[in-house]
Amino acid sequence: MNHEFYIKQCYLLAKEAQKNNEVPVGSLITQNNKIIANSYNSPIKLNDPTAHAEINVIREACKKNNNYRIKDSILYTSLEPCLMCLVAACEARIDLIVFGAYSSENKNIEDKFKYIKENYKIDHKLSFIGGILEKECSLIIKDFFKSKRS
């Protein structure tokens, strides 16, 4: 598996989100090393606060598989997933999440997941690999918010 290749694709999707004035996050899902779904953030465009890139690709992949589970899959995303997206990935039975930028300097996705599992009795096992193309994925987010404050 070439995680860097897929995160680069997520980065390009994030650029599409940025063009639409959305927070620049892109995601895709693979099964058997093939991309089965890809998307980017679109809560503003869709008037839907749940339209995160990760949720969008989970919905698309479920439709393509005609199943609410996406077993034997990997979720790639340019930014560490939020709690909503982590739980959605568990419910979809995704095996691994690979992401680019961390959402905070604490780099605590394992702690977030542990909290969810312990407090909400989630029994799915999910693995993580973070920091792939971290600089590029972090910079696009930082630049986006910097331009909003200018």
Which residue out of 4, 16, 22, 54 is catalytically annotated?
54
For residue 105, the Cα-to-chain-centroid distance in whole angstroms is 18
134 is catalytic: no
User: Which tokens hold the place of 119?
Assistant: 């407090």
CA-CA distance, 26 to 99, in Å (whole number)?
A: 10
Whose tokens are 């650029």? That residue is 15
CA-CA distance, 56 to 53, in Å (whole number)?
A: 5
- Burial of residue 148 (CB within 10 Å: 0-12, 13-18, 19+) is exposed
41 neighbors 23 (Cβ within 8 angstroms): yes
Active-site residue numbers? 54
